[in-house]
Structure 1
Protein backbone atom coordinates (compact mmCIF):
# COMPACT_ATOMS: atom_id res chain seq x y z
CA UNK A 1 0.00 0.00 0.00
CA UNK A 2 2.87 2.34 0.70
CA UNK A 3 3.75 2.50 -2.99
CA UNK A 4 0.12 2.54 -4.14
CA UNK A 5 0.63 -0.65 -6.11
CA UNK A 6 -2.51 -2.45 -4.99
CA UNK A 7 -6.00 -1.76 -3.74
CA UNK A 8 -6.99 -2.65 -0.18
CA UNK A 9 -10.63 -3.55 0.52
CA UNK A 10 -11.96 -3.65 4.07
CA UNK A 11 -15.30 -4.78 5.49
CA UNK A 12 -16.00 -3.34 8.93
CA UNK A 13 -18.71 -5.44 10.58
CA UNK A 14 -20.57 -3.69 13.35
CA UNK A 15 -23.60 -3.61 15.60
CA UNK A 16 -25.66 -0.51 16.32
CA UNK A 17 -24.15 1.90 18.85
CA UNK A 18 -20.55 0.67 18.56
CA UNK A 19 -19.19 4.02 17.26
CA UNK A 20 -18.91 2.47 13.81
CA UNK A 21 -20.38 5.52 12.06
CA UNK A 22 -17.84 7.80 13.71
CA UNK A 23 -15.16 5.32 12.65
CA UNK A 24 -16.50 5.38 9.09
CA UNK A 25 -16.44 9.18 9.10
CA UNK A 26 -12.84 8.91 10.28
CA UNK A 27 -11.96 6.44 7.50
CA UNK A 28 -13.45 8.86 4.97
CA UNK A 29 -10.34 10.97 5.48
CA UNK A 30 -7.94 8.31 4.25
CA UNK A 31 -6.19 9.25 1.05
CA UNK A 32 -7.92 8.10 -2.13
CA UNK A 33 -10.68 6.05 -0.48
CA UNK A 34 -14.16 4.98 -1.58
CA UNK A 35 -16.59 4.49 1.33
CA UNK A 36 -19.65 2.22 1.15
CA UNK A 37 -22.24 2.50 3.91
CA UNK A 38 -24.45 -0.37 5.12
CA UNK A 39 -25.47 -1.96 1.81
CA UNK A 40 -26.68 -5.28 3.24
CA UNK A 41 -28.58 -3.44 5.95
CA UNK A 42 -30.36 -1.51 3.21
CA UNK A 43 -31.16 -4.76 1.39
CA UNK A 44 -32.50 -6.26 4.61
CA UNK A 45 -34.62 -3.29 5.65
CA UNK A 46 -35.60 -1.40 2.51
CA UNK A 47 -34.67 -3.35 -0.62
CA UNK A 48 -37.02 -5.35 -2.86
CA UNK A 49 -36.20 -8.59 -0.99
CA UNK A 50 -36.69 -7.20 2.51
CA UNK A 51 -39.95 -9.10 3.02
CA UNK A 52 -38.08 -12.37 2.57
CA UNK A 53 -36.03 -12.05 5.74
CA UNK A 54 -37.98 -9.69 7.99
CA UNK A 55 -40.96 -10.72 10.03
CA UNK A 56 -44.09 -8.78 9.13
CA UNK A 57 -44.39 -7.07 12.52
CA UNK A 58 -40.84 -5.81 12.26
CA UNK A 59 -41.23 -4.72 8.66
CA UNK A 60 -44.44 -2.80 9.38
CA UNK A 61 -42.63 -0.78 12.03
CA UNK A 62 -40.51 0.83 9.30
CA UNK A 63 -43.33 1.89 6.99
CA UNK A 64 -44.14 5.18 8.74
CA UNK A 65 -40.45 5.98 9.00
CA UNK A 66 -39.95 5.27 5.29
CA UNK A 67 -42.89 7.48 4.37
CA UNK A 68 -41.71 10.33 6.58
CA UNK A 69 -38.14 10.08 5.32
CA UNK A 70 -39.30 10.70 1.76
CA UNK A 71 -40.11 14.26 2.83
CA UNK A 72 -36.42 14.90 3.55
CA UNK A 73 -34.67 16.46 0.56
CA UNK A 74 -31.13 15.33 -0.20
CA UNK A 75 -31.14 16.44 -3.83
CA UNK A 76 -29.31 13.80 -5.86
CA UNK A 77 -27.32 12.20 -3.04
CA UNK A 78 -27.76 8.45 -2.58
CA UNK A 79 -28.82 5.42 -4.60
CA UNK A 80 -32.32 4.05 -5.15
CA UNK A 81 -33.06 1.38 -2.52
CA UNK A 82 -34.77 -0.72 -5.19
CA UNK A 83 -31.32 -1.52 -6.55
CA UNK A 84 -30.43 -3.21 -3.28
CA UNK A 85 -31.02 -6.89 -3.86
CA UNK A 86 -28.56 -9.07 -1.98
CA UNK A 87 -27.05 -10.29 -5.26
CA UNK A 88 -26.60 -6.73 -6.52
CA UNK A 89 -24.97 -5.61 -3.28
CA UNK A 90 -22.46 -8.47 -3.33
CA UNK A 91 -21.63 -8.69 -7.02
CA UNK A 92 -22.09 -5.15 -8.31
CA UNK A 93 -21.52 -2.91 -5.32
CA UNK A 94 -18.97 -4.72 -3.15
CA UNK A 95 -17.18 -6.82 -5.75
CA UNK A 96 -17.46 -4.17 -8.46
CA UNK A 97 -14.56 -2.14 -9.80
CA UNK A 98 -13.33 1.02 -8.10
CA UNK A 99 -10.63 2.12 -10.52
CA UNK A 100 -8.08 4.59 -9.25
CA UNK A 101 -8.94 4.04 -5.59
CA UNK A 102 -6.29 2.83 -3.17
CA UNK A 103 -8.86 1.77 -0.55
CA UNK A 104 -12.44 0.53 -0.63
CA UNK A 105 -13.93 0.69 2.87
CA UNK A 106 -17.37 -0.68 3.69
CA UNK A 107 -19.19 -0.51 7.01
CA UNK A 108 -22.16 -2.79 7.55
CA UNK A 109 -24.05 -4.66 10.24
CA UNK A 110 -23.09 -8.27 10.83
CA UNK A 111 -26.62 -9.64 11.23
CA UNK A 112 -27.64 -9.88 7.54
CA UNK A 113 -24.49 -11.78 6.61
CA UNK A 114 -24.21 -13.97 9.72
CA UNK A 115 -27.39 -15.76 8.60
CA UNK A 116 -26.19 -16.11 4.98
CA UNK A 117 -22.46 -16.60 4.64
CA UNK A 118 -22.68 -16.76 0.85
CA UNK A 119 -23.07 -12.96 0.95
CA UNK A 120 -19.51 -12.43 2.18
CA UNK A 121 -17.80 -10.47 -0.61
CA UNK A 122 -14.59 -11.69 -2.18
CA UNK A 123 -11.37 -9.75 -2.00
CA UNK A 124 -11.86 -8.09 1.38
CA UNK A 125 -10.07 -7.99 4.70
CA UNK A 126 -12.45 -8.12 7.65
CA UNK A 127 -12.68 -6.13 10.88
CA UNK A 128 -15.21 -5.92 13.72
CA UNK A 129 -16.33 -3.17 16.10
CA UNK A 130 -17.28 -4.19 19.64
CA UNK A 131 -18.42 -2.22 22.66
CA UNK A 132 -19.07 -3.07 26.30
CA UNK A 133 -22.66 -4.37 26.49
CA UNK A 134 -23.74 -1.98 29.26
CA UNK A 135 -22.82 0.99 27.07
CA UNK A 136 -24.04 -0.55 23.84
CA UNK A 137 -27.50 -1.55 25.02
CA UNK A 138 -27.99 1.61 27.07
CA UNK A 139 -27.42 3.64 23.92
CA UNK A 140 -29.53 1.31 21.77
CA UNK A 141 -32.46 1.50 24.20
CA UNK A 142 -32.25 5.30 24.20
CA UNK A 143 -32.53 5.29 20.41
CA UNK A 144 -35.64 3.12 20.54
CA UNK A 145 -37.24 5.42 23.10
CA UNK A 146 -36.62 8.26 20.69
CA UNK A 147 -38.71 6.42 18.12
CA UNK A 148 -41.61 6.34 20.56
CA UNK A 149 -41.78 2.56 20.64
CA UNK A 150 -43.76 0.87 23.41
CA UNK A 151 -41.66 -2.28 23.26
CA UNK A 152 -38.53 -2.89 25.28
CA UNK A 153 -35.16 -3.35 23.63
CA UNK A 154 -35.06 -7.11 24.13
CA UNK A 155 -38.56 -7.47 22.66
CA UNK A 156 -37.62 -5.45 19.57
CA UNK A 157 -34.47 -7.50 19.00
CA UNK A 158 -36.41 -10.74 19.40
CA UNK A 159 -38.96 -9.58 16.84
CA UNK A 160 -36.18 -8.62 14.43
CA UNK A 161 -34.67 -12.09 14.63
CA UNK A 162 -31.34 -10.97 16.09
CA UNK A 163 -29.55 -13.88 17.72
CA UNK A 164 -28.18 -13.26 21.20
CA UNK A 165 -29.41 -9.66 21.03
CA UNK A 166 -27.26 -9.21 17.89
CA UNK A 167 -23.99 -10.02 19.68
CA UNK A 168 -24.35 -13.73 18.90
CA UNK A 169 -24.72 -12.84 15.21
CA UNK A 170 -21.55 -10.77 15.52
CA UNK A 171 -19.54 -13.61 17.06
CA UNK A 172 -20.93 -16.17 14.62
CA UNK A 173 -19.73 -14.20 11.61
CA UNK A 174 -16.35 -13.61 13.25
CA UNK A 175 -15.87 -17.32 13.94
CA UNK A 176 -17.06 -18.34 10.47
CA UNK A 177 -14.52 -16.06 8.78
CA UNK A 178 -11.79 -17.82 10.76
CA UNK A 179 -13.02 -21.41 10.37
CA UNK A 180 -13.63 -20.99 6.63
CA UNK A 181 -10.17 -19.54 6.05
CA UNK A 182 -11.63 -16.39 4.52
CA UNK A 183 -10.00 -14.24 7.22
CA UNK A 184 -7.71 -16.18 9.56
CA UNK A 185 -7.25 -13.23 11.93
CA UNK A 186 -10.04 -10.63 11.78
CA UNK A 187 -9.26 -7.28 13.34
CA UNK A 188 -11.36 -6.38 16.39
CA UNK A 189 -11.62 -2.76 17.55
CA UNK A 190 -13.02 -2.07 20.99
CA UNK A 191 -14.90 1.24 21.09
CA UNK A 192 -13.62 2.22 24.54
CA UNK A 193 -10.01 1.64 23.57
CA UNK A 194 -10.52 3.58 20.34
CA UNK A 195 -11.71 6.54 22.40
CA UNK A 196 -8.94 6.14 24.98
CA UNK A 197 -6.11 5.88 22.45
CA UNK A 198 -7.31 6.86 18.97
CA UNK A 199 -3.88 7.41 17.45
CA UNK A 200 -2.50 4.12 18.75
CA UNK A 201 -5.51 2.10 17.61
CA UNK A 202 -5.75 3.81 14.22
CA UNK A 203 -2.04 3.43 13.49
CA UNK A 204 -2.19 -0.27 14.37
CA UNK A 205 -5.38 -0.74 12.34
CA UNK A 206 -3.78 0.80 9.27
CA UNK A 207 -0.56 -1.14 9.74
CA UNK A 208 -2.41 -4.44 10.14
CA UNK A 209 -4.49 -3.93 7.00
CA UNK A 210 -1.69 -2.47 4.87
CA UNK A 211 -3.24 0.98 4.71
CA UNK A 212 -1.17 4.16 4.66
CA UNK A 213 -1.80 5.98 7.93
CA UNK A 214 -2.44 9.73 7.96
CA UNK A 215 -2.91 12.17 10.84
CA UNK A 216 -6.10 13.30 9.08
CA UNK A 217 -7.73 10.36 10.87
CA UNK A 218 -7.37 12.10 14.22
CA UNK A 219 -9.54 15.16 13.61
CA UNK A 220 -12.06 16.36 11.05
CA UNK A 221 -14.77 18.92 10.44
CA UNK A 222 -18.15 18.66 12.13
CA UNK A 223 -21.17 17.88 9.99
CA UNK A 224 -22.37 15.22 7.59
CA UNK A 225 -20.74 16.65 4.47
CA UNK A 226 -18.70 13.48 3.99
CA UNK A 227 -21.81 11.43 3.17
CA UNK A 228 -22.12 13.09 -0.23
CA UNK A 229 -19.10 11.04 -1.23
CA UNK A 230 -20.32 7.79 0.34
CA UNK A 231 -21.90 5.00 -1.65
CA UNK A 232 -25.19 4.76 0.25
CA UNK A 233 -28.90 4.50 -0.40
CA UNK A 234 -30.97 7.66 -0.47
CA UNK A 235 -33.54 6.25 1.96
CA UNK A 236 -30.89 5.46 4.57
CA UNK A 237 -29.46 8.95 4.31
CA UNK A 238 -32.98 10.37 4.59
CA UNK A 239 -33.78 8.22 7.64
CA UNK A 240 -30.56 9.32 9.29
CA UNK A 241 -31.54 12.94 8.71
CA UNK A 242 -34.99 12.28 10.13
CA UNK A 243 -34.11 10.17 13.18
CA UNK A 244 -30.71 11.76 13.96
CA UNK A 245 -29.50 8.33 15.09
CA UNK A 246 -26.01 9.15 13.82
CA UNK A 247 -26.09 12.82 14.81
CA UNK A 248 -23.36 12.49 17.45
CA UNK A 249 -21.10 10.81 14.91
CA UNK A 250 -21.68 13.51 12.31
CA UNK A 251 -21.33 16.31 14.87
CA UNK A 252 -18.00 14.89 15.97
CA UNK A 253 -14.62 16.41 15.14
CA UNK A 254 -12.58 13.58 16.69
CA UNK A 255 -13.06 10.56 18.92
CA UNK A 256 -14.30 12.11 22.14
CA UNK A 257 -13.01 11.23 25.59
CA UNK A 258 -14.15 7.95 27.06
CA UNK A 259 -17.50 7.96 28.88
CA UNK A 260 -17.59 6.33 32.33
CA UNK A 261 -19.21 2.92 32.67
CA UNK A 262 -22.91 3.34 33.51
CA UNK A 263 -24.10 2.17 36.91
CA UNK A 264 -26.29 -0.93 36.82
CA UNK A 265 -28.68 0.72 39.26
CA UNK A 266 -29.38 3.43 36.69
CA UNK A 267 -30.16 1.10 33.79
CA UNK A 268 -33.43 -0.37 32.58
CA UNK A 269 -34.12 -4.05 33.19
CA UNK A 270 -34.11 -4.77 29.46
CA UNK A 271 -30.64 -3.24 29.14
CA UNK A 272 -29.33 -5.36 32.01
CA UNK A 273 -30.95 -8.46 30.50
CA UNK A 274 -29.28 -7.92 27.12
CA UNK A 275 -25.95 -6.96 28.69
CA UNK A 276 -25.77 -9.90 31.10
CA UNK A 277 -26.55 -12.42 28.37
CA UNK A 278 -23.97 -11.03 25.97
CA UNK A 279 -21.07 -10.29 28.32
CA UNK A 280 -19.45 -13.71 27.69
CA UNK A 281 -19.55 -13.03 23.93
CA UNK A 282 -18.10 -9.57 24.38
CA UNK A 283 -15.29 -10.86 26.58
CA UNK A 284 -14.46 -13.60 24.08
CA UNK A 285 -14.04 -11.02 21.34
CA UNK A 286 -12.40 -8.48 23.65
CA UNK A 287 -9.58 -10.92 24.37
CA UNK A 288 -8.77 -10.88 20.62
CA UNK A 289 -8.97 -7.11 20.23
CA UNK A 290 -6.44 -4.98 18.39
CA UNK A 291 -3.77 -3.58 20.70
CA UNK A 292 -1.43 -0.68 19.84
Structure 2
Protein backbone atom coordinates (compact mmCIF):
# COMPACT_ATOMS: atom_id res chain seq x y z
CA UNK A 1 0.00 0.00 0.00
CA UNK A 2 1.05 3.59 -0.62
CA UNK A 3 2.23 5.16 2.65
CA UNK A 4 0.24 7.93 4.30
CA UNK A 5 2.27 11.15 4.04
CA UNK A 6 1.31 13.88 6.50
CA UNK A 7 2.68 17.41 6.16
CA UNK A 8 2.03 19.30 9.40
CA UNK A 9 2.37 23.05 8.82
CA UNK A 10 3.21 25.21 11.81
CA UNK A 11 5.08 28.27 12.92
CA UNK A 12 7.68 28.33 15.68
CA UNK A 13 6.81 27.74 19.36
CA UNK A 14 3.54 26.07 18.48
CA UNK A 15 3.47 22.58 20.01
CA UNK A 16 4.96 21.30 16.75
CA UNK A 17 7.75 19.28 18.40
CA UNK A 18 5.35 17.67 20.88
CA UNK A 19 3.11 16.72 17.96
CA UNK A 20 6.08 15.16 16.19
CA UNK A 21 6.88 13.19 19.34
CA UNK A 22 3.26 12.05 19.57
CA UNK A 23 3.26 10.66 16.04
CA UNK A 24 6.66 9.02 16.49
CA UNK A 25 5.32 7.29 19.62
CA UNK A 26 2.71 5.45 17.53
CA UNK A 27 5.31 2.93 16.37
CA UNK A 28 4.03 2.85 12.78
CA UNK A 29 5.24 6.31 11.81
CA UNK A 30 8.51 7.75 10.54
CA UNK A 31 9.01 11.44 11.33
CA UNK A 32 11.11 14.19 9.75
CA UNK A 33 11.97 17.34 11.68
CA UNK A 34 11.80 20.57 9.62
CA UNK A 35 13.12 19.24 6.31
CA UNK A 36 13.51 22.66 4.67
CA UNK A 37 15.36 24.43 7.53
CA UNK A 38 18.81 23.97 6.00
CA UNK A 39 17.64 25.26 2.62
CA UNK A 40 15.83 28.18 4.27
CA UNK A 41 18.94 29.39 6.07
CA UNK A 42 21.09 28.81 2.99
CA UNK A 43 18.78 30.88 0.79
CA UNK A 44 18.02 33.72 3.19
CA UNK A 45 21.35 34.14 4.96
CA UNK A 46 19.47 34.67 8.23
CA UNK A 47 21.53 34.49 11.39
CA UNK A 48 19.64 31.90 13.43
CA UNK A 49 21.07 30.14 16.49
CA UNK A 50 23.34 27.27 15.37
CA UNK A 51 23.06 28.51 11.77
CA UNK A 52 26.01 26.63 10.30
CA UNK A 53 25.24 23.44 12.21
CA UNK A 54 21.68 23.52 10.87
CA UNK A 55 22.85 24.03 7.29
CA UNK A 56 25.49 21.31 7.51
CA UNK A 57 23.16 18.89 9.27
CA UNK A 58 20.42 19.04 6.65
CA UNK A 59 19.93 19.23 2.89
CA UNK A 60 20.44 22.79 1.58
CA UNK A 61 18.95 21.97 -1.85
CA UNK A 62 15.21 22.62 -1.54
CA UNK A 63 14.40 20.67 -4.72
CA UNK A 64 16.03 17.54 -3.28
CA UNK A 65 14.12 18.03 -0.03
CA UNK A 66 10.80 18.27 -1.89
CA UNK A 67 11.61 15.09 -3.79
CA UNK A 68 12.44 13.31 -0.54
CA UNK A 69 9.09 14.34 0.94
CA UNK A 70 7.53 12.12 -1.72
CA UNK A 71 10.31 9.52 -1.74
CA UNK A 72 10.92 6.29 0.18
CA UNK A 73 9.73 6.40 3.78
CA UNK A 74 12.42 5.74 6.41
CA UNK A 75 12.28 2.18 7.72
CA UNK A 76 9.45 1.49 5.23
CA UNK A 77 6.90 2.71 7.77
CA UNK A 78 3.27 3.01 6.61
CA UNK A 79 3.00 6.60 7.88
CA UNK A 80 5.43 9.46 7.16
CA UNK A 81 4.94 12.52 9.38
CA UNK A 82 6.75 15.65 8.23
CA UNK A 83 7.03 18.60 10.63
CA UNK A 84 7.20 21.71 8.44
CA UNK A 85 7.64 25.39 9.30
CA UNK A 86 5.51 27.71 7.16
CA UNK A 87 8.14 30.47 7.15
CA UNK A 88 10.60 28.09 5.46
CA UNK A 89 8.52 28.06 2.24
CA UNK A 90 10.13 31.12 0.67
CA UNK A 91 10.41 31.89 -3.05
CA UNK A 92 12.39 29.18 -4.79
CA UNK A 93 11.23 26.39 -2.48
CA UNK A 94 8.99 23.97 -4.43
CA UNK A 95 5.35 23.68 -3.41
CA UNK A 96 3.89 21.47 -6.13
CA UNK A 97 4.56 18.32 -4.06
CA UNK A 98 2.09 19.54 -1.43
CA UNK A 99 -0.79 18.40 -3.59
CA UNK A 100 0.37 14.78 -3.16
CA UNK A 101 0.36 14.66 0.66
CA UNK A 102 -2.21 15.16 3.41
CA UNK A 103 -1.73 18.65 4.77
CA UNK A 104 -2.65 19.73 8.30
CA UNK A 105 -2.30 23.26 9.66
CA UNK A 106 -1.32 23.57 13.31
CA UNK A 107 -2.26 26.98 14.71
CA UNK A 108 -1.69 28.87 17.97
CA UNK A 109 -2.75 32.31 19.16
CA UNK A 110 -0.07 34.77 18.00
CA UNK A 111 0.33 36.40 21.42
CA UNK A 112 1.48 33.07 22.83
CA UNK A 113 3.79 32.45 19.87
CA UNK A 114 5.42 35.89 20.09
CA UNK A 115 5.91 35.62 23.85
CA UNK A 116 7.55 32.20 23.55
CA UNK A 117 9.63 32.91 20.45
CA UNK A 118 10.97 36.24 21.69
CA UNK A 119 12.28 34.53 24.82
CA UNK A 120 14.58 32.46 22.60
CA UNK A 121 15.27 34.88 19.72
CA UNK A 122 14.70 38.56 20.48
CA UNK A 123 14.94 40.04 16.98
CA UNK A 124 11.69 38.93 15.33
CA UNK A 125 9.23 40.23 12.76
CA UNK A 126 5.94 39.05 11.30
CA UNK A 127 7.66 36.91 8.67
CA UNK A 128 9.60 35.02 11.36
CA UNK A 129 6.49 33.58 13.02
CA UNK A 130 4.86 32.29 9.86
CA UNK A 131 1.22 33.36 10.24
CA UNK A 132 0.86 35.08 6.88
CA UNK A 133 2.74 32.26 5.15
CA UNK A 134 0.51 29.70 6.87
CA UNK A 135 -2.64 31.37 5.51
CA UNK A 136 -1.12 31.51 2.02
CA UNK A 137 -0.18 27.83 2.14
CA UNK A 138 -3.66 26.95 3.40
CA UNK A 139 -5.23 28.71 0.42
CA UNK A 140 -2.77 27.14 -2.00
CA UNK A 141 -3.43 23.62 -0.72
CA UNK A 142 -7.19 24.23 -0.93
CA UNK A 143 -6.79 25.30 -4.56
CA UNK A 144 -4.51 22.35 -5.38
CA UNK A 145 -6.76 19.70 -3.86
CA UNK A 146 -10.24 21.19 -4.13
CA UNK A 147 -10.78 20.49 -0.42
CA UNK A 148 -10.51 22.50 2.78
CA UNK A 149 -7.34 21.37 4.56
CA UNK A 150 -7.39 20.14 8.13
CA UNK A 151 -6.72 22.70 10.87
CA UNK A 152 -5.95 21.92 14.50
CA UNK A 153 -5.40 24.43 17.33
CA UNK A 154 -2.64 23.74 19.83
CA UNK A 155 -4.74 25.18 22.65
CA UNK A 156 -7.44 22.59 21.93
CA UNK A 157 -4.84 19.82 21.97
CA UNK A 158 -3.50 20.88 25.36
CA UNK A 159 -7.03 21.15 26.75
CA UNK A 160 -8.08 17.69 25.52
CA UNK A 161 -5.17 15.62 24.15
CA UNK A 162 -7.04 12.33 23.94
CA UNK A 163 -10.09 13.77 22.20
CA UNK A 164 -8.13 15.88 19.76
CA UNK A 165 -5.69 13.12 18.81
CA UNK A 166 -8.62 10.76 18.27
CA UNK A 167 -10.38 13.31 16.08
CA UNK A 168 -7.23 14.02 14.08
CA UNK A 169 -6.49 10.35 13.51
CA UNK A 170 -10.07 9.85 12.36
CA UNK A 171 -9.73 12.60 9.77
CA UNK A 172 -6.37 11.23 8.64
CA UNK A 173 -7.68 7.70 8.24
CA UNK A 174 -5.35 6.35 10.94
CA UNK A 175 -6.14 4.00 13.78
CA UNK A 176 -6.51 5.79 17.10
CA UNK A 177 -3.61 5.15 19.42
CA UNK A 178 -3.25 5.99 23.09
CA UNK A 179 0.51 5.73 22.53
CA UNK A 180 0.34 9.24 21.05
CA UNK A 181 -0.36 10.75 24.48
CA UNK A 182 3.06 10.02 26.00
CA UNK A 183 6.72 9.71 25.09
CA UNK A 184 10.06 9.24 26.83
CA UNK A 185 11.85 12.16 28.43
CA UNK A 186 14.97 13.58 26.77
CA UNK A 187 16.39 14.04 23.25
CA UNK A 188 15.17 11.89 20.38
CA UNK A 189 17.24 10.41 17.54
CA UNK A 190 15.03 12.15 14.98
CA UNK A 191 15.38 15.64 16.52
CA UNK A 192 16.84 18.28 14.22
CA UNK A 193 20.39 19.56 14.69
CA UNK A 194 19.01 22.70 16.38
CA UNK A 195 17.21 20.78 19.14
CA UNK A 196 19.69 21.62 21.91
CA UNK A 197 18.82 25.32 21.55
CA UNK A 198 15.05 25.10 21.07
CA UNK A 199 13.74 21.85 22.58
CA UNK A 200 14.69 22.17 26.25
CA UNK A 201 11.11 22.30 27.54
CA UNK A 202 9.80 19.45 25.41
CA UNK A 203 12.80 17.29 26.36
CA UNK A 204 11.61 17.57 29.96
CA UNK A 205 8.09 16.49 29.01
CA UNK A 206 6.57 13.02 28.79
CA UNK A 207 3.27 14.15 27.27
CA UNK A 208 1.24 17.19 26.29
CA UNK A 209 1.30 20.02 28.83
CA UNK A 210 -1.96 21.10 30.44
CA UNK A 211 -4.25 23.85 29.24
CA UNK A 212 -2.67 27.28 28.96
CA UNK A 213 -3.65 30.23 31.14
CA UNK A 214 -4.58 33.79 30.13
CA UNK A 215 -2.94 35.31 27.05
CA UNK A 216 0.39 36.99 27.78
CA UNK A 217 0.47 40.80 27.81
CA UNK A 218 2.84 42.07 25.14
CA UNK A 219 4.32 45.53 24.76
CA UNK A 220 5.69 47.66 21.92
CA UNK A 221 6.87 45.89 18.78
CA UNK A 222 5.93 42.47 20.13
CA UNK A 223 2.32 43.58 20.64
CA UNK A 224 2.24 45.03 17.12
CA UNK A 225 3.55 41.79 15.60
CA UNK A 226 0.92 39.73 17.41
CA UNK A 227 -1.83 42.15 16.32
CA UNK A 228 -0.72 41.92 12.69
CA UNK A 229 -0.74 38.11 12.85
CA UNK A 230 -4.14 37.84 14.57
CA UNK A 231 -6.39 38.04 11.44
CA UNK A 232 -4.54 35.11 9.84
CA UNK A 233 -4.96 33.03 12.98
CA UNK A 234 -8.62 33.93 13.38
CA UNK A 235 -9.47 32.97 9.80
CA UNK A 236 -7.89 29.54 10.09
CA UNK A 237 -9.42 29.10 13.55
CA UNK A 238 -12.87 29.00 11.93
CA UNK A 239 -11.85 25.66 10.32
CA UNK A 240 -10.35 24.12 13.46
CA UNK A 241 -11.09 20.49 14.23
CA UNK A 242 -13.30 19.68 17.23
CA UNK A 243 -12.45 16.91 19.74
CA UNK A 244 -13.99 13.48 19.44
Fold shared, TM-score > 0.5 on shorter chain: yes
What secondary structure, in the 3-state scheme, does the structure 2 residue paired with 1:180 have?
A: helix
Tell me if structure 2 keeps the 8 A contact 1:40–1:108.
yes
Bigger Cα Rg: 1
Q: How does 1:80-119 map to 2 (within 5 A)?
A: 81=57, 83-91=59-67, 93-98=68-73, 100-113=76-89, 115=91, 118-119=94-95
One of 121, 128, 137 as aligned partner of 1:144 = 121
Q: What displacement does 1:132 show? A: 0.7
**Is the alpha carbon distance of 1:256 and 1:42 closer, same or farther for their aligned partners in structure 2, counting shifts above 3 Å?**
same
Counting matched residue pairs gives 241
- 1:96 is paired with a residue whose SS is coil
- Within 5 Å, give how 1:182-197 maps onto structure 2: 184-197=147-160
Secondary structure of 1:134 counterpart: helix
TM-score between the two structures when normalised by the length of structure 1: 0.75
Shift of 1:82: 6.3
Measured against aligned partners, the alpha-carbon deviations of 1:130-177 in whole angstroms (never above 9, x if no partner) come to 1011111111111114xxxxx4x23xx5xxxx28x5211110000110
The 3-state SS of whatever aligns with 2:14 is: coil
Query: Contact 2:3 / 2:78 at 8 angstroms: preserved in 1?
Result: yes
- In structure 2, the residue matched to 1:254 is 207
1:208 aligns with 2:171: yes
TM-score, normalising length from structure 2? 0.89
Consecutive unaligned residues of structure 1, counting only runs of 5 or more, are: 71-78, 146-150
Q: What root-mean-square deviation, in Å, do the aligned CA atoms of Structure 1 and Structure 2 show?
A: 2.4
Note the 1:3-152 alignment, pairs <5 A: 5-45=1-41, 50=42, 53-54=43-44, 56=45, 58=46, 61-62=47-48, 65-66=50-51, 81=57, 83-91=59-67, 93-98=68-73, 100-113=76-89, 115=91, 118-121=94-97, 123-145=100-122, 151=123
Tell me by how many angstroms 1:6 deviates: 4.4
Separation of aligned partners in 2, 1:240 and 1:82: 13
Structure 1 SS opposite 2:100: coil
- Report how far residue 129 of structure 1 moved: 0.8
